[in-house]
Structure 1
Amino acid sequence: MNFLSKMERKFGRFAISHLTAYIILTYVAGYLLYMIGAANKIDVRDWLALSPSLILQGQVWRLVSWWLIPPTGIDIFTLIMLFVYYQLGTVLERTWGDFLYNVYIFMGLFFTVIGAFVLYFTAGIDVGLMRIFFSTYYVSLSIFLGFAMTFPEQQMLFMFLIPIRIKWFAVLDVFYLLYEVLTYWRYSTTLGICVLTMVVSSLASTILFFFMSKRSFRLSRSQRKVRDNYRRQTGTERGFWKSANPAQAREPKVDRTTFAAGNRGTKIAIHHCAVCGRTELDDPNLEFRFCTKCNGNYEYCQDHLYTHNHVQ
């Protein structure tokens, strides 16, 4: 996370807020263009498609115009899909912050373009000229996978009735992607290679982002400053505990094993979750972090860092 944190400090002010809403708008614009073109017997995808050879000839708008290509026809299932992606993407924006969410999405778009050029230069396959239209379908799917990796125990209703943990939905999606690639491969090797490239390049951001953002749980200088201020304000440096929430204030926990051994010293909890009240004395493996979006110095355990309601 150190690299991403440094980048966020430098360029975080340029992040696009409400990016999920803009993604949904590109879908809407794409469907409108497609319907207008169909009414005039014109396939607008020929003008929007990601085509490396045409880009090299000067049609540079194709580097971004392919974002408007709708992945499927519009029906009730498409509307449900867009609604679900909007909800999940909005949660990720609030959880990760605008900058990290921007990096996640734009990495998927960038690697998709790279994948198309790799196909062109290595296999001589121009997906645009072959009318194999790259779209943002798999990039949008990365929103779902990102949510599943962040909140694996969150439940969703299968068929609107059966609650299933979202991590199992993600596993099913991965297997379905493999099945889809194999199906296209049996039909045509060239088509299978194109679909495999599209899937891998679009979801590369999912792999790289979580590889880069593995939490080392080392506090930065600013985080240590917030922690030290918090300790001074709550009195933990003076040998007793005062909760960040006055309603949850309690006496410090005492390590009973210390007394049983004859040592009269007491251990004072330094970390305290403002939601569940657990400390490092309850479980030495618990990790605690301060939330920078809460007004005040509120500390949370690893189970509630991303799921608590921000104090405003």
Structure 2
Amino acid sequence: MLIIVIGTAAVWLLSMMDRSGQLLGLLSFSPTAILHGQIWRLVTFVFVPTNSGIWLLISLYFYYFVGSVLEREWGAGRFTIFYLSGMLLTIVYGFIVYFAAGLPVPLSTVYINYSLFFAFATLYPDNMVLLFFFIPLKMKWLAWLDAAYFAYSILDGLINLPGTLKLLGIMPVIAILNYLLFFGSTLGSLFRPRAARRKTVNFQQELHRMKKDAKQKNYMHKCAVCGRTDADYPELEFRYCSRCAGYHCFCQDHINNHVHFTE
């Protein structure tokens, strides 16, 4: 994500110094230009800023914060695949609209970046962020606002745009598809009845098993996310999640920030 943030900031600075005003046009997505050999546009469009000034700085900071957390959670490989798949779906959508309606689509990474919020909110729904640096808000509520904006954009395009122009209104769906590719199974487990998701646990048997394992492994508690144990980190607090299926231990850093076990 750091590459995207730095690249976008650099393009914005260069565009401010570009007296001809042609730089952003040369980097933007254009199916016609791409088909005539300007293939760099398939990549450079992600660096074209969609706003400027203080709003650009706030957006880039937020994108970097969310992207960095996801990269640490998933690893650089999976995060890169997530972002590249969003880019690929967006490019395919742009060409479909171009050939179906004969329209050059002004593609940007706005909805791709917004899909990062959905991913972050799924992994850390109760994590607090400061909206505009002073409004405390849980990520799950920010994601709902994000979803409302997506729904409004889609409905506005489908209702107000005529004929094949309605295809322009479904651009947010591309970001949702990318999100569902990675979180479809997780969302399915969240919407199942809780009684069906949670298995009955015999706590006496689990406690006996844990004590037996502790003698063999020289620790009593181990975080299911980061792998830290009470033997290696005696100052950490360990707890068990009541929402997970089974008996799973988490350290104080991950008890409220983990994907719940469903089986």
- Structure 2 length-normalised TM: 0.71
User: Equivalent of 1:154, from 119, 127, 134?
Assistant: 127
Q: Report what 1:57 is aligned to.
A: 36
Counterpart-to-counterpart distance in 1, 2:244 and 2:133 = 40
Once residues 283 and 35 of structure 1 are traced to their aligned partners in structure 2, the CA distance between those partners, rounded to angstroms, is 51
How is 1:270-285 mapped onto 2 (pairs within 5 angstroms)? 275-278=237-240, 285=245
Alpha-carbon distance between aligned partners in 2 of 1:208 and 1:25, rounded to the nearest angstrom: 27
SS of 1:148's partner is helix
C-alpha spacing 1:27/1:245, structure 2 compared with 1 (3 Å): same
Q: Contact 1:236–1:242 (CA<8 Å) still a contact in 2?
A: no
Are the aligned partners of 1:275 and 1:304 in contact in 2 as well (CA < 8 Å)? no
Quick one: distance in 2 between partners of 1:191 and 1:161? 42
Q: Distance in 2 between matches of 1:284 and 1:120?
A: 46
**2:201 match:** none
The alpha-carbon deviation at position 173 of structure 1 amounts to: 1.2
Aligned to 2:7: 26
- Is the Cα–Cα contact under 8 Å of residues 156 and 169 in structure 2 kept in the other structure? no
> What corresponds to 1:254 in structure 2?
none
Q: Does 1:75 align with 2:60?
A: no
> For 1:47, which of 4, 26, 42 is the aligned residue?
26
Letter in 1 for 2:8: Y
Deviation at residue 236 of structure 1 after TM alignment: 5.1
Q: Residue 246 of structure 1: SS of its match in structure 2?
A: coil
Structure 1 unaligned regions, length at least 5: 1-19, 128-132, 217-229, 250-273, 289-298
Distance between the aligned counterparts of 2:164 and 2:14, measured in 1?
26
CA distance in 2, matches of 1:135, 1:275: 44
CA contact (8 A) 1:49 1:62 kept: yes
Q: Per-residue displacement from partner, 1:195-227 (whole Å, max 9, x unpaired)?
A: 4343222342111111267799xxxxxxxxxxx
CA distance in 1, matches of 2:63, 2:172: 18
> Does 2:174 correspond to 1:201?
yes
The alpha-carbon deviation at position 160 of structure 1 amounts to 4.4
Asked if 2 retains the 8 angstrom alpha-carbon contact of 1:138 and 1:202, the reply is: yes
Letter in 2 for 1:82: L
CA contact (8 A) 2:219 2:231 kept: no
* Higher gyration radius (CA): 1
| Code of the aligned partner of 1:245 | D
1:286–1:111: structure 2 CA closer, same or farther, 3 Å change rule?
A: same
Q: Identify the residue that residue 138 of structure 2 maps to in structure 1.
A: 165
Unaligned runs of 5+ in 2: 190-209, 222-228, 259-263
Match among 79, 92, 97 for residue 114 of structure 1:
92
Asked whether the 8 Å contact 1:115–1:197 carries over to 2, the reply is no
Aligned residue for 1:270? none
Task: Evaluate the alpha carbon distance shift between residue 29 and residue 287 of structure 1 in structure 2; reply closer, same or farther with a 3 A threshold.
Answer: farther
Aligned partner letter, 1:199: P
Paired residue secondary structure (2:29): coil
Contact 2:97 2:103 in 1 (8 A): yes
Match of 2:202 in 1: none
Question: Does 1:142 find its partner at 2:122?
Answer: no
RMSD: 3.7
Q: Is the partner of 2:240 in helix, strand or coil?
A: coil
Q: What letter matches 2:215 in structure 1?
A: G
Q: Which moved more, 1:181-190 or 1:160-169?
A: 181-190
With structure 1 as the length reference, what TM-score do the two structures score? 0.61
Partner of 1:226: none
Deviations 1:79-138 (A, max 9, x none): 1221122111111111111111111111111110010111123333232xxxxx211121
Shift of 1:167: 0.7
Separation of aligned partners in 2, 1:33 and 1:162? 32
Distance 1:165 1:191, change over 3 A: farther
8 Å contact from structure 1 (residues 185, 191) kept in 2: no
Q: Deviations over 1:140-190 (max 9, x none)?
A: 112222111111111223454443321111111111222234445555437
Q: Match for residue 300 of structure 1?
A: 250
Whichever residue aligns with residue 25 of structure 2, its letter is D
Aligned residues: 231
Q: How far, CA to CA, are the matches of 2:244 and 2:180 in structure 1?
A: 30
Q: Which residue of 1 aligns with 2:231?
A: 246
Counterpart amino acid of residue 22 in structure 1: I
2:183 to 202, 210, 216: 210
